[in-house]
């Protein structure tokens, strides 16, 4: 089944044809590790995790790189403010990022390069750009000469005039043209810096992605992905740097951009006070429900985020896990799980996750009605490609979500209730049920005994 993907560069949906089917390469711009990321920053990693899983089904060798930006003015500011070295900040938030991504069921990328470990390749690329007349040094800075690259603005659809007129372009005396952007900048003694042909300094943000993509994936990569907030200037600048450093070779053959999150219909922003940290949300909501919600809209569209939407995702997963729990005794040969065609077809169609989730709901219904090993395997296999439904159904229902349910205490109370019922002490049994309810635990008596679940997230 061929994969087609929407290419932001051509603004068309195109068949995906890798340069080398034996080594498919994908790069996703990762976080700047100066704080916990917000929930919107998780959308790209979740969506492109599904794409990586899909590509791995089609190609024997996929190399997926997601970088860590560990040198940046925001990191320097955080380190200064807290009176610590930048490593204390970047180490802490890199660990938190990896941990939070893992909880969302995101497989680690094949390569996770960080900028500070690539200063050599960054300097080498800047030297090449200078030698070829695409960059110039001025007052300790090195700038990319936007005028030297006629295709500048093709990805974002902005022309140079528009760019220069844009208020966001920093005007500085050392720039030949206001649109020129920084490849290297000088560091004062208290700031992190590395020796370079232009003095002690540090790289600009854009150059690190170009240098790390080259080092780990090659001069031309198959897919470059990121949020559409990075389209300009970050990705535009990556294209300019990489294309010019590689004698005009195509940098990324396909550009994928995910839409942003809105919160109850509004943009998420610090000034509105509605920034939701993923790390914090994971304390209060099941990670899998967050993942499901992030996949519930088409990746190119904006996605609205609300408490009601999370509750809806929890209830959807309740339904699906209930089917799997009821089929707990139905044996399934787990390796490898079959991937139902309808799920695969939806994902091959420009990663249509809402369609894939609709198909998963159909499979859940079929499994509930049929109760066969095949139907259960199809549900699990479809879920696996989306990174859903892979935990023990009992674990799903007995999760704690920060509400700190003491499972041992619950089990003990259920046993006491059984004993009370056996002794026909129904008042005592009802009192125990009420006590469980105040703990947020719901119980259900059935042919397989008493089951319990955490009633609310």
Residues that bind Zn ion in the complex, under the rule CB under 5 A: 29, 209
Q: In this structure, what token pair is assigned to residue 27? A: 């790069």
Q: How far is the CB of 244 from Zn ion (least distance, A)?
A: 16
**Planar angle of CA 452, 455, 457, nearest 5 degrees:** 130
Q: To the nearest 10°, report the CA torsion of 354, 355, 361, 366.
A: -170
Q: Indicate the burial class of 404 (C-beta count within 10 angstroms; 0-12, 13-18, 19 or more).
A: exposed
Dist. CA 104–CA 81, nearest whole Å: 31
Q: Which is nearer to Zn ion, 239 or 405 (CB)?
A: 239
Q: Which is nearer to Zn ion, 252 or 363 (CB)?
A: 252
Q: How far is the CB of 101 from Zn ion (least distance, A)?
A: 17
> Which residues, in sequence order, are CB contacts of 368 under 8 Å at separation 6+?
323, 326
> Which residues, in sequence order, are CB contacts of 289 under 8 Å at separation 6+?
310, 313, 314, 317, 457
Q: How far is the CB of 69 from Zn ion (least distance, A)?
A: 8
259 alpha carbon, distance to own chain's centre: 12
Q: How far is the CB of 29 from Zn ion (least distance, A)?
A: 3
DSSP 35: S
Q: In this structure, what token pair is assigned to residue 453? A: 């679940």
Q: Which is nearer to Zn ion, 65 or 356 (CB)?
A: 65
Sign of CA dihedral 368, 370, 373, 379: negative
Element (H, E) at 143: strand 141-144
Tell me whether strands 12-15 and 221-227 are parallel, antiparallel or unpaired. unpaired
Report the length, in residues, of the chain: 457
Q: Which is nearer to Zn ion, 18 or 226 (CB)?
A: 226
Q: How far is the CB of 10 from Zn ion (least distance, A)?
A: 20
Dist. CA 276–CA 153, nearest whole Å: 32
Q: Which is nearer to Zn ion, 7 or 69 (CB)?
A: 69
Q: Which is nearer to Zn ion, 205 or 320 (CB)?
A: 205
Is-contact 454 440, C-beta < 8 A?
yes
Q: Which is nearer to Zn ion, 241 or 313 (CB)?
A: 241
Q: Which is nearer to Zn ion, 238 or 359 (CB)?
A: 238
- As a whole number of Å, the end-to-end CA separation of the chain is 39
Q: How far is the CB of 334 from Zn ion (least distance, A)?
A: 37
Per-position b or e across 104-114, b if 16+ CB within 10 A of its CB: bbbeebbbbbb
Dist. CA 156–CA 308, nearest whole Å: 34
Q: In this structure, what token pair is assigned to residue 411? A: 């089990």
Dist. CA 43–CA 256, nearest whole Å: 13
Q: Which is nearer to Zn ion, 211 or 281 (CB)?
A: 211
Q: How far is the CB of 278 from Zn ion (least distance, A)?
A: 20
Q: Which is nearer to Zn ion, 183 or 332 (CB)?
A: 183
Is-contact 227 255, C-beta < 8 A?
no
């Amino acid at each position: 089944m061929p994969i087609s993907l929407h290419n932001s560069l051509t603004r068309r949906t195109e068949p995906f044809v890798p340069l080398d089917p034996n080594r498919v390469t994908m790069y996703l711009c990762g976080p700047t590790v100066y704080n916990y990321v917000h929930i919107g920053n998780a959308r790209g990693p979740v969506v492109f995790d599904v794409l990586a899983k899909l590509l791995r089904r089609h190609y024997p060798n996929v190399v997926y790189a997601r970088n860590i930006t560990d040198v940046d003015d925001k990191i320097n500011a955080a380190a200064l403010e807290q009176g610590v070295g930048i490593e204390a900040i970047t180490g802490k938030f890199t660990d938190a990022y990896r941990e939070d991504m893992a909880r969302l069921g995101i497989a680690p990328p094949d390569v996770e390069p960080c900028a500070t470990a690539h200063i050599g390749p960054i300097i080498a690329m800047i030297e090449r750009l200078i030698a070829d007349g695409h960059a110039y040094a001025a007052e300790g800075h090195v700038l990319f000469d936007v005028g030297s690259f006629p295709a500048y603005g093709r990805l974002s659809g902005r022309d140079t005039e528009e760019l220069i007129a844009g208020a966001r372009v920093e005007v500085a005396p050392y720039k030949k043209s206001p649109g020129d952007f920084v490849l290297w900048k000088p560091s004062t003694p208290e700031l992190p810096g590395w020796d370079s042909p232009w003095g002690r300094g540090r790289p600009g943000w854009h150059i690190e992605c170009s240098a790390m993509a080259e080092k780990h994936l090659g001069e031309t990569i198959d897919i470059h992905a990121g949020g559409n907030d990075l389209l300009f200037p970050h990705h535009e600048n990556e294209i300019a740097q990489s294309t010019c450093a590689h004698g005009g070779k195509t940098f990324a053959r396909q550009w994928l951009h995910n839409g942003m999150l809105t919160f109850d219909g509004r943009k998420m922003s610090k000034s509105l006070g509605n920034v939701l940290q993923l790390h914090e949300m994971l304390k209060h909501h099941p990670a899998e429900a967050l993942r499901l919600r992030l996949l519930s809209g088409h990746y190119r569209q904006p996605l609205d985020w609300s408490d009601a939407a999370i509750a809806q995702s929890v209830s959807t997963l309740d339904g699906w896990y209930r089917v799997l729990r009821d089929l707990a005794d139905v044996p399934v040969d787990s390796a490898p799980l079959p991937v139902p065609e309808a799920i695969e077809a939806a994902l091959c169609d420009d990663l249509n996750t809402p369609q894939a989730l609709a198909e998963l709901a159909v499979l859940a219904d079929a499994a509930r009605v049929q109760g066969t090993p095949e139907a259960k395997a199809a549900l699990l296999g479809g879920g696996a490609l989306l990174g859903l439904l892979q935990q023990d159904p009992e674990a799903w229902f007995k999760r704690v979500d920060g509400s700190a349910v003491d499972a041992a205490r619950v089990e003990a109370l259920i046993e006491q209730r059984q004993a009370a019922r056996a002794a026909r002490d129904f008042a005592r049994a009802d009192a125990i049920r009420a006590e469980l309810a105040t703990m947020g635990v719901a119980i259900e008596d059935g042919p397989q005994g008493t089951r319990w679940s955490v009633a609310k997230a």
